[in-house]
Amino acid sequence: MHPPRHPRKVFPFCVVVSQLALFACQANDIQTKPTATLPPPSPIPPSSTPVLGPLINGDFETGDLTGWLTQASGNGRWLVYHADSTPPNIPAPPQGGHAALTVMTSHGSHTLWQDVALDARYILRFILFYVKDEGSFNDRNQLRVELMDPDSPTTSKEPADVLATIYRTGQRDPLTLAPTSISFDLSSWKGRLVRIRFYEVDTLGPFRVGVDDVRLELLQP
């Protein structure tokens, strides 16, 4: 006669799996917290798997300005530099091997822009840095990043042409900005063609501005 069988214990495996899944989600949230932005950001939720929008060559990894348009007045221009040929006193490209930069030996104005069709709700993200050799910031020595009416003149400052100011140097700002992540919610312009413009002007010697990792991330519902 066989001894009586004891009922087998069933371990709460589903509970363990759920707890592990919850821990993984929490860890993912920690990794994808948005970085600090300039100016103070509107509420923007993190995106663990960003879907990129219709912006061309925002990381400049083609090694040139493909997809972008430029205009210069006076001395200097926009160019793309590689990590192996980083100019003196300029940070290496903060993302990938390339970044865009203004270079000059005297004063001038330099504009970099791209027109994009916002077919959905997007967040604009980019990395910005600069080195100004002397003086201070004012209307004739400044950096502006703006959302523009694409039908406006390239260097327009008219309020009617500026849809939004994303970043602008102020009179008391330091003359050097380390690579800084900036984000801006473009939801209000869904369905429109807009211009993303980086504009730098200087009358007091070189003012080198760097841009990298420009992208549109789909805003998750």
Environment class of 56 (CB within 10 Å of its CB; exposed 0-12, middle 13-18, buried 19+): exposed
CA distances from 124 to 39, 84, 135 (A): 13, 28, 31
Q: What is the pLDDT of residue 179?
A: 98
14-56: per-residue pLDDT in tens?
333 334 333 333 333 333 333 333 444 434 444 445 677 889 9
Decide if pLDDT at 11 tops 50: no
CA dist., res. 144 & res. 165, Å (int): 7
Q: Say whether domain 69-218 belongs to CATH 2.60.120.200.
A: yes
Cα atoms found within 13 Å of the Cα of residue 9, Cβ hemisphere only: 3
Decide if pLDDT at 163 tops 90: yes
Q: For 104, phi and psi rounded to 5 degrees? A: -165, 165
SS3 category, 25: helix
167, 143 Cβ separation under 8 angstroms: yes
Decide if pLDDT at 185 tops 50: yes
Decide if pLDDT at 81 tops 90: yes
| Extents of the domains making up the chain | 69-218
114, 55 Cβ separation under 8 angstroms: yes
